């Protein structure tokens, strides 16, 4: 059971504090912040203790979401899952997750907490149940402006942490639809995360894909929804594969509300979506990708006579020519004594920068069209360059987004709502693949 729940900003400001069982005072909030900021790098921060009290926390949206408990036998899976679910609820209700939105909607969050947890016991986290109880209207933290739109990436993915942030259209409070006459919309996102390791000789050592199908529903009443996947979708390694176009995943898990009666025959998922965001299906695929990994690197690294390090990097994008990767950033670790960098890049929109505190070069490519090849020549001044310094160069890490593309090949054939919705309902299907960790060894 949970004794207290509190939310802190990254600077340690108290945003929300609720005590459920009266087992500890509110001073533990400061104790927690002192502890969490004093940790050294090799201490795992997730669970910390202060006397009889145990802090369990997650970080979401740059905030600390903390639960305390007095019983060391509490399940960490449950508490962490609860904190994640709670932050997802807050995100659904407030539209987005940030210090500002939590501050502005604190009354709403107290109300949520009151319904979600009673006496330290989790009661319900289903938004269908909660919508009957929550009365407070969300305050949108950002008034709509064109300036904000330009800041948000195509899928709003700016950082690793918030990589699945919905685009601005989807980041609005779920309940505002009622009175502000918000459109009744439904978003179906297929999001895949790749983690790939390519060896120095170009051999793919590891290629994993974790995928999710998410529904974000802004419809006040939606009784049933049918999602059709590729007909040649198969699960597990043993199943026979069709002729070429089959989509295969190793493991697949569905949300408990999904009805699978039509899945085995027609690959159709049926469910009654509740308001807000939910993950309908999760799947994973390891090692046996249907297509080649999207990027290859051909490096040449040598020392020149003047004690400089020359790196000639050719990066090839193996996507189909009609797709493109965006926001590509290659991080190339460099030897310790690196001082300065001179560069020759193959097109003007690229940029490269030596980040001394990360000991790495960041090579940024805003848009990389499939089937093309880019190159960069970096000349690096390194003080005290020795033959073994070359060991410090690499591995190269790529961060990118592939809009409108799934690596596994999963496609949504159709999305039908029944009963047929009264006129203005919009259905959006979006695909995106992110790099979770794309490593190219040198």
Partner 1 sequence: MPYLGSEDAVRELRRALSNPNVQSDQLRYRNTVLKAIRAMSQGVDVSDLFSEMVKACATVDIVQKKLVYVFLCSYATLNPELSLLVINTLRKDCQDPNPMVRSLALRNMTNLRLPSLVEYVEQPLAAGLRDRAACVRRVAVLGWAKLHNLQPDAEIDAAVVNELYGLLRDPDPVVMVNCLRALEEILKKEGGVAINKPITHHLLNRLKESDVWGQCEVLRILQRYHPQSEDELFDILSLLDASLVSPHPPVMAATLGLFLGLCSGLPAVSLAALERVRGPLLAACGSTSRETRFTALCHIQLLLRSLPGLMGAHYKRFFCGYAEPAYIKQRKMQVLVELVNDENVAMLLDELKGYCTDVNPETAQAAISAIGRIGRSYSDRCLEILTGLLGLKQEHITSAVVQTMCDLVWVCPQCSDTVCSALEGCEEMLQDSQGRQALLWLLAAYGERVSSAPYTLEGFIDRVRSEASLGVKMELLTTTMRLFLCRPSETQDMLGRLLHYCIEEEMDMCVRDQALLYYRLLHCGIEETHKVLHGQRSDPSLGVLIGRPAEPINQWAYSFNTLEPLRQAGVETEPASRGSPEHVTFDPKPNTDLSDTLNCSQIEKVNLAGSDGASGFTCSSAKVLAPLSLSLSPALSPEEFEHLWMQRHAEQGAEKLEEEEEDYVCLEERIQFPAIPPCSPQSLQAAMQLVNIQTLAFTPPHTLPWRVYLYTHTHHAHYGSTLVIGELLYIGEASRRVAAVKKGMEDGDVVEGEQEAGLSGRALVRKDGREEEVEVTLKQQPRDDNALKGFLSILTTVLHTLSSESS
- Restricting to residues 354-413, name those near partner 1 by CB under 8 A: 358-360, 386-389, 391-392, 394-395, 397
- Minimum distance from CB of 57 to partner 1 (Å)? 8
CA-wise closest residue to 139 among 188, 173, 189: 173
Q: Between 170 and 417, whose beta carbon lies closer to partner 1?
A: 170
Site for partner 1 in 61-80 (CB under 8 A): 69, 72-78, 80
- Minimum distance from CB of 72 to partner 1 (Å)? 5
The residue to which tokens 């979770």 are assigned:
436
Which string of x and - marks every residue 291-330 that binds partner 1 (by CB under 8 A)? ----------------------------------------
Q: Between 167 and 184, whose beta carbon lies closer to partner 1?
A: 167
Q: Between 56 and 227, whose beta carbon lies closer to partner 1?
A: 56
Judged by DSSP in three states, 111 sits in: helix
Helices (H) and strands (E) in the chain, counts: 8, 25
If binding is defined by CB under 8 A, does position 437 make contact with partner 1? yes
Query: What φ, ψ does residue 174 adopt, rounded to 5°?
Result: -70, -30
- Minimum distance from CB of 376 to partner 1 (Å)? 20
Site for partner 1 in 123-142 (CB under 8 A): 123-126, 132-133, 135-136
Query: Near partner 1 by CB under 8 A, which window of 174-182, 201-209, 294-302, 315-323?
Result: 201-209
CA-wise closest residue to 437 among 404, 395, 409: 395
Sole binder of partner 1 in the list 253, 322, 367, 416 (CB under 8 A): 253
Residue 359 CB neighbours (<10 A): 14
Cβ–Cβ < 8 Å for 275, 131: yes
CA-wise closest residue to 174 among 145, 216, 114, 221: 216
If binding is defined by CB under 8 A, does position 45 make contact with partner 1? yes
Q: Between 181 and 387, whose beta carbon lies closer to partner 1?
A: 387
Rounded CA-CA distance 189/213 in Å is 6
If binding is defined by CB under 8 A, does position 50 make contact with partner 1? no
Helix 76-94 to helix 106-116 angle (10° resolution) is 140
If binding is defined by CB under 8 A, does position 178 make contact with partner 1? no
Sole binder of partner 1 in the list 111, 231, 232, 381 (CB under 8 A): 111
**113 φψ region: left (φ > 0), alpha (ψ -120 to 50), beta (else):** alpha
């Amino acid at each position: 059971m949970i004794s207290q729940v509190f939310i802190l900003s990254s600077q340690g400001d108290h945003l929300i504090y609720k005590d459920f069982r009266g087992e500890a005072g509110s001073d533990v909030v400061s104790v927690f912040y002192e502890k969490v900021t004093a940790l050294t790098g090799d201490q795992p921060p997730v669970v910390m203790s202060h006397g009889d009290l145990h802090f369990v926390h997650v970080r979401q949206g740059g905030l600390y979401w903390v639960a305390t408990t007095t019983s060391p036998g509490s399940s960490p899976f449950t508490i962490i899952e609860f904190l994640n679910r709670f932050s997802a609820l807050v995100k659904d209700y407030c539209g987005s997750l940030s210090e500002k939105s939590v501050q502005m909607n604190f009354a709403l969050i107290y109300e949520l907490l009151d319904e979600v947890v009673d006496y330290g016991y989790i009661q319900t986290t289903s938004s269908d149940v909660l919508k009957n109880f929550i009365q407070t209207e969300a305050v949108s933290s950002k008034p709509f402006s064109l300036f904000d739109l330009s800041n948000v990436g195509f899928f709003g993915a700016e950082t690793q942490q918030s990589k699945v942030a919905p685009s601005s259209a989807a980041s609005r409070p779920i309940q505002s639809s009622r009175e502000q006459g918000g459109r009744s919309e439904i978003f179906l996102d297929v999001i895949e995360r790749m983690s790939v390791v390519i060896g120095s000789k170009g051999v793919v050592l590891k290629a994993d894909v974790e995928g999710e199908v998410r529904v974000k529903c802004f419809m006040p009443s939606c009784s049933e929804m049918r999602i059709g996947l590729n007909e040649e979708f198969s699960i597990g390694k043993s199943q026979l594969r069709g002729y070429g176009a089959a989509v295969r995943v190793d493991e697949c898990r569905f949300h408990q509300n999904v009805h699978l009666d039509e899945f085995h025959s027609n690959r159709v998922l049926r469910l009654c979506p509740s308001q807000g965001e939910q993950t309908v299906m999760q799947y994973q695929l390891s090692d046996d990708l249907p297509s080649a990994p999207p990027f290859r690197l051909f490096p040449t690294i040598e020392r020149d006579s003047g004690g400089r390090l020359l790196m000639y990097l050719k990066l090839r994008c193996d996507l189909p020519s009609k797709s493109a990767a965006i926001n590509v950033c290659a991080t190339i670790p460099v030897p310790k004594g690196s001082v300065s960098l001179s560069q020759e890049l193959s097109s003007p929109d690229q940029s490269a920068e030596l980040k001394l505190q990360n000991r790495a070069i960041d090579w940024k490519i805003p848009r990389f069209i499939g089937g093309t090849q880019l190159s960069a020549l970096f000349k690096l001044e390194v003080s005290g360059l020795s033959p073994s310094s070359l060991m410090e160069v690499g591995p190269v890490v790529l961060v990118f987004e592939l809009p409108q593309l799934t690596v596994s090949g999963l496609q949504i054939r159709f999305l039908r709502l029944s009963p047929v919705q009264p006129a203005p309902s919009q259905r959006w299907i979006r695909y995106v693949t992110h790099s979770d960790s794309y490593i190219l060894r040198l």
